[in-house]
Chain A
Amino acid sequence: MAKHDKNIGKGLKVVGHGLHVKDAVEKVTGTIRYGVDYEVQNMVHGRIIRCPHPHARITRIDASKAEDVPGFIGILTHDDVPQNDWEAAWFNYRGKVLDGVGRFVGDDMAAVAATTPEAAEKAAELVEIDYELLPAVFCMEEARKDGAPQIRDEGNERDPYGVAWGDVAVGKAAADHTVDCDIFYESQQYAPLGRNACIAEWMGDRVNVITSSQTPSELRDGIHEALGIPLSKIRVQALPSGSSFGQWWSNNFMMIAVLLARKVGKAVKIELDNEECMATVKRRHQERTRGSMGCTAEGELTYFEFDHLIDNGGYGFKDDVGFFCVDMWGKNGHGDYQIHGINTNMVTAGCMRGVGDCTLGASVERMADQLAEKVGIDPVRFRIKNQIVAGDELRMQHSRHNIKGAVDEYIKNVPEHLRKDWPELFKLSAGGTRALLELGSEHFGWDQRWKGWATPTHSDGSIRRGIGVGTGAHVCGVEFEGASNAMVRMNPDGSAKVHAAVGRQGAGAETTQAMVVAEELGLPLDQVAIETGDTDSCPWNHGSLASSTMYRTGWASREAARDVKRQLLAIAAKEFFDNVDPDELDVDDGEVVHRDPAKHNQRIRFADVLSELRSETLGQTSSITGSPRVPMPPSTTFARQFGAQFAEVEVDVETGQIKLLDFLCVQDSGTVVNPQVLKNQIIGAAICGSGFAIYEEMIFDQETGALENGNLLDYKLLRCADFPHDAEVLFVEDPDPVGPFGARGAGESPIAAGIAAVAQAVHNAIGVWVDMPMTPERVVAAIKAERDRHT
């Protein structure tokens, strides 16, 4: 078993430094190209025809009027499409590309191609479609009932997904205090700045797909499933995206572009407009938590029990959302969680940053706070008392299906000698919230500022201020859909190229993956370049999702670099160091050196080693290619990231308006590979979480389920002056035994922590809990309801 070495990741040359990101100059000069900026020669433009009804079947399509539009080239209907189901990662989409049935307003029904975007739009409007209207259902509860309109062949509801441990009845009996909840969460929209476009171009029976995607490999898999053609004939060139948060993985419009291009025999570009991006692709689920939680008079949790609904919309197929709050609060001996995924006639819902953390996690945080208030313990101490630290058991292993079974299977298939360096499985390998809460409360001045539960820190006229703290946890990637792979190639000049199919949505992976490789190979960062998007050159990778990029792909990139180093040192030992054991050698600043300069003080440039490179089978070769040579330990069973955040808010109790006055983020993501990149990402999560807490909500038409605020005027995103510009990020770096140089994941725990902190701060300011988003109107209504309750 690997020891928990606290010194991993310290004193390194590249890792740990706030180096400028590799694409910084491209970004500030506007030369970086996203999906919308790309063109290929002689391409034509596609436009998707969308369903005007919540649930309807096509009975007739007539394109004769569209054919008269100058520039019209062709139309793709469900009759042209292979009737294969394809699946996006994590069941974010499951269905056919087009099947003649519309399952929400805005669903993809057909597509036209024309020489210009304007002609395509005009032609799309002129295609006549008759529909048979089908009964529709928009509410999760209604969709579960017998006799509800059925949206999918598989039925509306997935098998419940659950985690249970201990005996809840025993935990209830031991509780001195209990609280109940029934909380509904509106959908958050990715509201992607940057839109997306997809270009598909066929060359014979091979297709090349150019689009912004966080998951190049999974997109290739999806095209393979939808079209039934060999993976070898599909090349995805994934480009950087604008803000994505999980929206641009693999999406149905990309499949449509591929099929439309095949139909019309030309390269096709489909660019989604802003409203299409917001109203027809994906969103965070609507969710509802019902449950209860109990603790002793001393404030020790004794049990919790939750029943949680998630709404998948038309094509989502998920049966779970993040369970990481289970682990974080899992010290108590008794728990039972159930999640139900339900389809409705609303736009598809799927994973958005902090899936489950922002909803189920926020419910758990609120209930914990309510218990803490009952026993009179402040929220920082209540968390320290009840949240896990390294070495504690992780509860996700007690899953009713899926996780435990899949992990057991994975472990069983790894030979024992390759498992000897693994950390103890099913226990937290490193970190926890305690150190974050201690550091954060000291820095924030929590003890000086805390005035008690539901007690404002300041009160003047209609103004109340309050402080709050929240915590979040998340896995650092998952292994169930395949092990993320990476390849490193050292070139004849000694420079290195990483091939890792991850996303470039602003999280800096193009830089931080290269930093890991540069560190391992002893190269300066500018000698390491990276290819992230091309599935023809990158091995399969899960992509950037589930906070996996640094942890799982970073592990693979480092292992691949290690493999290169091993080969490099073997040649060097033989050709330059008198056949010493290669383990006596090391790399330093682009040169091979002996660890003991007294024995060998020469320094041999990598390029010189490579010039001696011989392969036993090929003779002279010119480069070294490395890949991971050992299996990665199953990280869901031990690795977690943690965030704790502190907030001060000001509420106008007369108007319900909330201002964010102060924010502090504390994060444990293990070793920080690039502090500048990570601080930015953590603050971004706090801002996105704060937006979810106070403004962001998709408003749907009650009669049709159509999105009513699919624009940035009425879908409110926080702006620069809406968030404290002096917000700080502090790190606690408890290195991970497996992650590259001790690094773990980062992207998702901080969004959950911010939401809980803002919600609690508002409660402390005004004395009532407000359901999210805490819009001015909801705040006023909650205050009024509380006043009415007392009179």
Chain B
Amino acid sequence: MLAEHGPDAMIWAGGTDMTLHWQREKVSPTVCVDIRDVSQLDFIEVGNDAIRIGAMTALATLERAAGRHHILKMLSDITKLMCTPQTRTLATVGGNMCNASPAADLSPAFVALDATAVIFGRNGTREVTAYDFFVGVNRTAVAQDEILQEVTIPLPSDGEIHGSYRRIDRTVVDIALVNGSAAVTVGIDGVISKVGLGLGAVAPIILNAPDASAALEGTSLADVTRDKLAEVAAIAARHAKPITDVRASAGYRQDMVEVMLRRALEDAITNHGGKLR
């Protein structure tokens, strides 16, 4: 159907963003392909090596999955910050990703967790990293005749991963003015083997910061200090290219993305049982 109608056809997931885009005349589809009730895309699977989340999983469903894995608890806590309870029942994980808002809440976490987006098309499925998934504001790697099928979060085989997400908001229901997420993997030897970072609302896409990650990788959990994490956050924040808009100035965003990353890193280390000095 998508191939047949070309750009006039649009995928309608929960529709919470699309209805707004349509009302504001940002999109004007002649055909809406409603995939909200495609049950094959509505699942959360916890495996030994990965957590798989179907694209049509409602945010409310993800919110309720907190007890199934501590990474799902992290994602559940993020969904509680998203829109309102009555919109979370409609909105979907895949829809949120495909809307590709730079201020999206789940996206920086997916980037930090080094998640993979599984994209389905006429020639079968293909995979891109969460980082590569976002191409621009409201633009993703999904082609016109493809749909997002699922998001896969890899779990380490020889250690443990913990993550955290922090954002600046105003009232209890808000869009993030700026946000940051960190995911830290610690090997069974107690050494940090992998650090993922995601920076949101500071560029058209969700940023990562490999140099900052590298600055922490290889450090023993017991040796991590607050100063060290502040240094890592500062390195990461250098990647930010924020703009000034109605919600915040570029300067505030630049300063706060560093604070958010530092706090997210501190949370992640604390979740590992690390004692910060």
Q: What is the interface of chain A, defined by CB distance below 8 A to chain B?
A: 654-655, 657, 695, 699, 708-709, 713-714, 716-722, 775-777, 780
Chain B residues with CB under 8 Å of A722's CB are 171-172
17 A–B contacts from the bound complex (CB under 8 Å): A655-B256, A657-B168, A695-B170, A699-B246, A714-B175, A714-B246, A716-B170, A716-B171, A717-B171, A718-B171, A719-B171, A720-B172, A776-B168, A776-B170, A777-B248, A777-B249, A777-B252
Chain A residues with CB under 8 Å of B256's CB are 655
Residue of A nearest to B177 (CB): A776
Interface of A (DSSP majority class): loop
**A716, B174: Cα distance in complex, Å:** 8
Q: Mask for B165-187, Cβ within 8 A of A = 1, else 0?
A: 00011111111010000000000
Q: B247 in the interface, Cβ–Cβ < 8 Å?
A: yes
Chain B residues with CB under 8 Å of A775's CB are 170
**A777, B254: Cα distance in complex, Å:** 12
In the complex, given contacts A655-B168, A695-B170, A719-B173, what are 13 additional A-B residue pairs having Cβ atoms less than 8 angstroms apart?
A655-B256, A655-B259, A657-B169, A695-B171, A713-B175, A714-B246, A714-B247, A716-B170, A720-B172, A722-B171, A722-B172, A776-B168, A776-B252
Chain A residues with CB under 8 Å of B37's CB are none
Chain A residues with CB under 8 Å of B168's CB are 655, 657, 776
**A568, B175: Cα distance in complex, Å:** 63
Q: Mask for B209-253, Cβ within 8 A of A = 1, else 0?
A: 000000000000000000000000000000000000011110010
**Candidates B169, B172, B248, B249; contact of A721 at CB < 8 Å:** B172
Contact A719 B175 (CB under 8 A): no
Residue of B nearest to A709 (CB): B246
**A655, B262: Cα distance in complex, Å:** 12
Q: What is the interface of chain B, defined by CB distance below 8 A to chain A?
A: 168-175, 177, 246-249, 252, 255-256, 259
**A720, B249: Cα distance in complex, Å:** 27
The 5 closest A-B pairs by CB, nearest first: A721-B172, A777-B252, A716-B170, A708-B246, A722-B171
Residue of B nearest to A712 (CB): B173
**A777, B249: Cα distance in complex, Å:** 8
Contact B252 A654 (CB under 8 A): no
A700 to chain B, nearest CB (A): 10
**Candidates B173, B174, B246, B252; contact of A780 at CB < 8 Å:** B252
Chain A residues with CB under 8 Å of B171's CB are 695, 716-719, 722
Chain B residues with CB under 8 Å of A717's CB are 171
Chain B residues with CB under 8 Å of A720's CB are 172
Chain B residues with CB under 8 Å of A709's CB are 246
**A269, B9: Cα distance in complex, Å:** 35
Residue of A nearest to B174 (CB): A716
**A655, B255: Cα distance in complex, Å:** 9
Among A709, A776, A777, which residue has the most Cβ atoms of chain B within 10 A? A777
Chain B residues with CB under 8 Å of A708's CB are 246
A549 to chain B, nearest CB (A): 30
Contact A780 B172 (CB under 8 A): no
B21 to chain A, nearest CB (A): 14
Residue of A nearest to B84 (CB): A719
B122 to chain A, nearest CB (A): 37
Residue of B nearest to A699 (CB): B246
**A716, B177: Cα distance in complex, Å:** 13
Residue of A nearest to B23 (CB): A273
A462 to chain B, nearest CB (A): 9
Residue of B nearest to A784 (CB): B255
**A718, B174: Cα distance in complex, Å:** 11
Chain A residues with CB under 8 Å of B169's CB are 657
Residue of B nearest to A715 (CB): B246
Chain B residues with CB under 8 Å of A780's CB are 252, 255
Contact B172 A719 (CB under 8 A): yes
**A657, B256: Cα distance in complex, Å:** 11
**A780, B251: Cα distance in complex, Å:** 11
Chain A residues with CB under 8 Å of B177's CB are 776
A286 to chain B, nearest CB (A): 17
Residue of A nearest to B248 (CB): A777
**A719, B84: Cα distance in complex, Å:** 11
B172 to chain A, nearest CB (A): 5
Residue of B nearest to A657 (CB): B168
**A657, B168: Cα distance in complex, Å:** 8
Residue of A nearest to B249 (CB): A777
**A721, B170: Cα distance in complex, Å:** 12
Residue of A nearest to B169 (CB): A657
**A190, B252: Cα distance in complex, Å:** 28
**A717, B171: Cα distance in complex, Å:** 7
A782 to chain B, nearest CB (A): 13
Among B169, B171, B173, B247, which residue has the most Cβ atoms of chain A within 10 A? B171
**A722, B175: Cα distance in complex, Å:** 15
A774 to chain B, nearest CB (A): 11
**A775, B252: Cα distance in complex, Å:** 11
A161 to chain B, nearest CB (A): 34
Chain B residues with CB under 8 Å of A776's CB are 168, 170, 177, 252
Chain A residues with CB under 8 Å of B174's CB are 716
Chain B residues with CB under 8 Å of A716's CB are 170-171, 174
Residue of B nearest to A691 (CB): B171
Residue of A nearest to B173 (CB): A719
Chain A residues with CB under 8 Å of B173's CB are 719
Contact A654 B259 (CB under 8 A): yes
Chain B residues with CB under 8 Å of A655's CB are 168, 256, 259
B256 to chain A, nearest CB (A): 6
**A777, B247: Cα distance in complex, Å:** 10
Chain A residues with CB under 8 Å of B247's CB are 714
A655 to chain B, nearest CB (A): 6
Residue of A nearest to B252 (CB): A777
**A776, B248: Cα distance in complex, Å:** 9
B120 to chain A, nearest CB (A): 32
B171 to chain A, nearest CB (A): 5
Chain A residues with CB under 8 Å of B172's CB are 719-722
A71 to chain B, nearest CB (A): 20
Chain A residues with CB under 8 Å of B252's CB are 776-777, 780
B80 to chain A, nearest CB (A): 11
Residue of A nearest to B255 (CB): A780
B165 to chain A, nearest CB (A): 15
**A699, B169: Cα distance in complex, Å:** 17
**A367, B177: Cα distance in complex, Å:** 33
**A171, B194: Cα distance in complex, Å:** 70
Chain A residues with CB under 8 Å of B170's CB are 657, 695, 716, 775-776
**A673, B156: Cα distance in complex, Å:** 67
Chain A residues with CB under 8 Å of B175's CB are 713-714
**A709, B247: Cα distance in complex, Å:** 9
A270 to chain B, nearest CB (A): 19
**A713, B101: Cα distance in complex, Å:** 14
Residue of B nearest to A695 (CB): B170
A275 to chain B, nearest CB (A): 10
Chain A residues with CB under 8 Å of B249's CB are 777
Residue of A nearest to B167 (CB): A655
**A777, B242: Cα distance in complex, Å:** 15
Chain B residues with CB under 8 Å of A777's CB are 248-249, 252
Among B173, B177, B248, B249, which residue has the most Cβ atoms of chain A within 10 A? B173
**A713, B247: Cα distance in complex, Å:** 10
Chain B residues with CB under 8 Å of A719's CB are 171-173
A417 to chain B, nearest CB (A): 58
A659 to chain B, nearest CB (A): 10
**A714, B249: Cα distance in complex, Å:** 14
**A709, B174: Cα distance in complex, Å:** 14
Chain A residues with CB under 8 Å of B248's CB are 777
Residue of B nearest to A708 (CB): B246
**A543, B252: Cα distance in complex, Å:** 45
Chain B residues with CB under 8 Å of A718's CB are 171
Chain A residues with CB under 8 Å of B259's CB are 654-655
Chain B residues with CB under 8 Å of A714's CB are 175, 246-247
B131 to chain A, nearest CB (A): 26
Chain B residues with CB under 8 Å of A713's CB are 175
**A719, B174: Cα distance in complex, Å:** 10
**A35, B242: Cα distance in complex, Å:** 43
A464 to chain B, nearest CB (A): 16
**A721, B247: Cα distance in complex, Å:** 21
